[in-house]
């Protein structure tokens, strides 16, 4: 058994895409440990393998070789249904393009993950409302995405990511479609969730001022980790 | 979960109302046509049954058949092989036969005073009263054996004839003329109403068959013999025995065909049910073709819908939907579409068959079990044709689906 406090442990992770007879190496041996409660920013040039790495962390894609332990469990080789279950209960995703269901209210978007874990509808409602108010959207629960600003849409997406109380939130360029001011608001929200709730967050960004909200910055280049530094002490928080 | 899936499906269909409706149209028309046609077919069957019920299930009819005379076959009815003594012999010698009466029919003009009316004149024996269960009005009487023996010029008239040539007058002991021959009216037949075919059974005049033979037609044979078996169960037996007796009486050698037919009403019913079966097969194939076409329409639209909603599928997968959840969602959507189409088709079928009933006066009968089957089958069409698109959706790669523009 792997040490309990490590939420993520990645060992010699390789990912090679095959396009016809051409092999494109995207990850070339990543070793990384992320503790519970860490707020990690992954940086690097376009094509350096950040998204590929996030997809593997999110149980959306299989590594070609190497091991990935999530919460002490080797997950790289689990079945698709087991992955779906892990994505549902342990991981929350925030995307650059928000990825909300169109023509569907904020509330129902947030309820979506609970549809797949058998929670009855009364409980779903309550929890979705709580998640929305925790991201500062208590008022706009019945608005559809096209009636919300980009920042508000991203808050809905964050509420959706949080609603099943995941162990890990993965955010691939969450501020990529937002202006500077709104980016700052969203990053403050992430920081808040990390500091107050002890939420583990792994976030991909190009921008240094976005990465500055994290405690730890990891740089990728050509599928390898080239630097890994703590910029701020990790939040100390009671386990539970 | 199920309720939620159903809600999602309904919402997805509502989002594209016109498209959903057009997709359902194949199923609507298919199911509607089948319901209407089955209703008409069942109506026709019920009509035949009702007709048989009015005639009685133990009644047999003997008709003259083709007779080979020196190699020349004359057509049915053109022969004179049946005579009244055949009827008597059948009644006396065949144990499973209760009663028999010769019949001769012809349409004639009936005149009373200055009124006249064209109607069917039937020459009969007294036994016909019991065989066909005719009632006679209180003051009147039926034809008796003496009337037959001396070819009496007496007549019973049906209700319709009475109304048309006597009006409000009492027809009893009145005089009617058929081919200028005066007949004394001895009774009015009790009303029987229309047959299933719409023929008025009360538009008739009955006279002794001997009178018909000698005074009106100038013939010595009879056109048919109506027989009642002692019970409905004995009709088969009676048929066999009558055949044997008539062959013997007509001296037909064993290698020759009968010169008569014995018709059993259950034969007629069987013929009717045979044609109903052919009809059912025909309807079934129309139904399957239209449901198949409707199903292909559903499959087509579901494939379009899966492509359009690729990103939605990716999102659902990212938040924890398993393959089978996605699969279920799209199958339910296809089934809902097909079932709504089926339900609308049922409504269409019911309303168009009632319109047919009213406009064309055709009897229709809508069977509840057919409606149930129609709903089940259209649901099944949804499952069958929704399966492939649903599988396509469930097998999408979440990463590709999320990136889909
Ligand atoms: N589905 C794919 N098929 C083939 N090559 C891919 C695929 N996804 C990513 N790549 C390649 O892998 C490398 C890393 O890509 P990615 O992880 O998206 O980088 P980043 O997110 O850091 O910009 C790139 O060279 C990219 O072209
Ligand atoms: Mg990327």
Structural domain that includes position B41 = 2-51+271-403
pLDDT of residue B59: 86
Sorted by where each starts, the structural domains of chain A and their CATH numbers stand as 38-61+79-230 (3.40.50.300)
Ligand 1, pocket-test mutation among A21, A27, A46, A52, most atoms within 8 A of CB: A52
Where is the domain boundary, B258, B281, B306? B258
CA nearest ligand 1 atom 6, residue: A17
Least confident of A153-157, B360-364, B398-402: B360-364
pLDDT at B54 over 70: no
Q: Higher confidence at residue B367 or residue A60?
A: A60
Q: For B162-210, how does the pLDDT look when each residue is reduced to its tens digit (9 = 90+)? A: 999 998 888 999 999 999 999 999 999 988 877 656 678 899 999 999 9
Same domain, yes or no: B254 and B291: no
Q: Does a structural domain hold residue B353?
A: yes
Under the banding of pLDDT at 50, 70 and 90, the label for residue B285 is confident
pLDDT of residue A101: 95
pLDDT of residue A14: 97
Q: Does a structural domain hold residue B397?
A: yes
Q: Does a structural domain hold residue B63?
A: no
The rounded Å distance from CA B309 to ligand 2 centre is 23
Same domain, yes or no: B109 and B239: yes
Same domain, yes or no: B156 and B254: yes
Q: Judge: A84–B317 Cβ closer than 8 Å, yes or no.
A: yes
Same domain, yes or no: B243 and B288: no
Place of tokens 């386990």: A239
Q: For A88-125, how does the pLDDT look when each residue is reduced to its tens digit (9 = 90+)? A: 999 999 999 999 999 999 999 999 999 998 777 778 89
Chain centroid, CA B400 distance in Å: 61
Please tell me if residue B316 touches chain A, with a CB cutoff of 8 Å. Answer: yes
| Chain B neighbors of A100, CB-CB under 8 A | 315
pLDDT of residue A240: 38
To the nearest whole angstrom, how far is the Cα of A232 from the nearest Cα of chain B?
31
Same domain, yes or no: B122 and B244: yes
Q: Does a structural domain hold residue B250?
A: yes
Write out residues with Cβ below 6 Å of ligand 1: A 17, 19, 24, 26, 44, 46-52
Where is the domain boundary, B202, B225, B258? B258
Mutate to test the interface with A, among B15, B17, B317, B319 (most CBs of A within 10 A): B319
Please tell me if residue A117 touches chain B, with a CB cutoff of 8 Å. Answer: yes
Who among A88, A103, A118 is closest to B319 (CB)? A88
CA nearest ligand 1 atom 18, residue: A51
Same domain, yes or no: B364 and B393: yes
pLDDT of residue A3: 47
Under the banding of pLDDT at 50, 70 and 90, the label for residue B382 is very high
CA nearest ligand 1 atom 1, residue: A17
Q: Does a structural domain hold residue B95?
A: yes
Q: For B293-303, how does the pLDDT look when each residue is reduced to its tens digit (9 = 90+)? A: 999 999 999 99
Q: Does a structural domain hold residue B60?
A: no
ipTM of the complex model: 0.94
Same domain, yes or no: B312 and B393: yes
Who among B315, B323, B402 is closest to A80 (CB)? B323
pLDDT of residue B44: 76
CA nearest ligand 1 atom 21, residue: A51
Q: Does a structural domain hold residue B313?
A: yes
Same domain, yes or no: B40 and B104: no
Q: Judge: B319–A103 Cβ closer than 8 Å, yes or no.
A: no
pLDDT of residue B146: 94
Same domain, yes or no: B249 and B380: no
Same domain, yes or no: B99 and B198: yes
Q: Judge: A84–B322 Cβ closer than 8 Å, yes or no.
A: yes
Under the banding of pLDDT at 50, 70 and 90, the label for residue A231 is confident
Q: How many CA atoms lie within 13 A of A39 on its CB side?
A: 25
pLDDT of residue B132: 85
How many domains does chain B fold into? Answer: 2
Same domain, yes or no: B168 and B22: no
Who among B1, B317, B324 is closest to A118 (CB)? B1
pLDDT of residue A88: 96
Q: Judge: B399–A55 Cβ closer than 8 Å, yes or no.
A: yes
To the nearest whole angstrom, how far is the Cα of A165 from the nearest Cα of chain B?
12
pLDDT at A156 over 90: yes
Same domain, yes or no: B90 and B238: yes
Least confident of B6-20, B69-83, B255-269, B360-374: B69-83
Tokens of A122: 């009364």
Q: Does a structural domain hold residue B56?
A: no
Give the mean pLDDT of chain B: 87
Where is the domain boundary, B212, B231, B258? B258
């Amino acid at each position: 058994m792997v040490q309990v406090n490590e939420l993520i442990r990645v060992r010699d992770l390789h990912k090679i895409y095959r396009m016809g007879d051409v092999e494109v190496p995207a990850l070339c041996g990543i070793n990384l440990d992320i503790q519970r409660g860490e707020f990690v920013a992954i940086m690097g040039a376009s094509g350096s393998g950040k998204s590929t790495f996030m997809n593997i962390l999110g149980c959306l894609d299989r590594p070609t070789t190497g091991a990935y332990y999530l919460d002490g469990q080797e997950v790289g080789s689990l079945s698709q249904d087991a992955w779906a279950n892990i994505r549902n209960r342990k991981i929350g995703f925030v995307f650059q393009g928000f990825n909300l269901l169109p023509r569907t209210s904020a509330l129902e978007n947030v309820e979506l993950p609970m549809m797949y874990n058998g929670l009855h509808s009364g409980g779903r409602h309550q929890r979705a409302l709580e998640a929305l108010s925790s991201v500062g959207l208590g008022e706009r629960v019945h608005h559809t995405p096209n009636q919300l600003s980009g920042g508000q849409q991203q808050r809905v997406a964050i509420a959706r990511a949080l609603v099943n109380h995941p162990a890990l939130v993965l955010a691939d360029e969450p501020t990529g479609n937002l202006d500077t001011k709104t980016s700052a608001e969203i990053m403050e929200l992430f920081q808040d969730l990390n500091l107050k709730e002890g939420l583990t967050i792994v976030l991909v960004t190009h921008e240094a001022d976005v990465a500055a909200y994290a405690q730890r910055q990891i740089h990728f280049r050509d599928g390898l980790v080239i630097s890994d530094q703590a910029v701020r002490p990790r939040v100390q928080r009671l386990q539970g | 979960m199920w309720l939620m899936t159903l809600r999602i499906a309904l919402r997805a269909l509502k989002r594209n109302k016109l498209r959903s409706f057009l997709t359902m149209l194949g199923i609507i028309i298919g199911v509607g046509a089948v319901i209407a046609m089955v209703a008409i077919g069942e109506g026709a069957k019920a009509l035949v049954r009702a007709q048989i019920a009015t005639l009685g299930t133990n009644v047999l009819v003997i008709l003259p058949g083709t007779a080979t005379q020196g190699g020349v076959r004359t057509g049915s009815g053109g022969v004179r092989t049946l005579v009244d003594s055949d009827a008597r012999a059948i009644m006396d010698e065949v144990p499973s036969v209760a009663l028999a009466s010769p019949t001769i029919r012809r349409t004639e003009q009936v005149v009373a005073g200055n009124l006249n009316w064209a109607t069917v004149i039937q020459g009969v024996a007294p036994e016909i009263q019991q065989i066909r269960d005719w009632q006679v009005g209180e003051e009147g009487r039926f034809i008796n054996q003496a009337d037959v023996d001396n070819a009496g010029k007496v007549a019973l008239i049906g209700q319709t004839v009475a109304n048309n040539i006597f009006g409000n007058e009492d027809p009893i002991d009145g005089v009617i003329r058929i081919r200028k021959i005066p007949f004394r009216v001895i009774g009015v037949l009790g009303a029987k109403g229309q047959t299933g075919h719409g023929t008025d059974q009360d538009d008739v005049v009955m006279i002794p068959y001997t009178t018909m033979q000698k005074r009106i037609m100038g013939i010595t044979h009879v056109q048919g013999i109506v027989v009642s078996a002692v019970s409905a169960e004995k009709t088969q037996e009676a048929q066999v025995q009558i055949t044997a007796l008539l062959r013997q009486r007509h001296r037909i050698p064993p290698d020759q065909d009968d010169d008569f037919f014995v018709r059993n009403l259950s034969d007629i019913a069987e013929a009717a049910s045979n044609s109903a079966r052919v009809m059912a097969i025909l309807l079934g194939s129309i139904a399957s073709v239209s449901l198949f076409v409707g199903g292909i329409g559903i499959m087509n639209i579901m494939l379009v819908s899966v492509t359009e909603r690729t990103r939605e599928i990716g999102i659902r997968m990212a938040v924890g939907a398993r393959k089978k959840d996605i699969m279920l969602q799209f199958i339910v959507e296809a089934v809902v579409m097909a079932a709504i189409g089926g339900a609308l088709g049922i409504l269409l079928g019911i309303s168009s068959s009632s319109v047919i009933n009213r406009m064309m006066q055709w009897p229709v009968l809508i069977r509840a079990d057919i409606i149930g089957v129609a709903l089940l089958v259209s649901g099944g069409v949804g499952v069958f044709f929704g399966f492939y698109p649903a599988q396509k959706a469930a097998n999408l790669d979440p990463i590709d689906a999320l990136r889909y523009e």
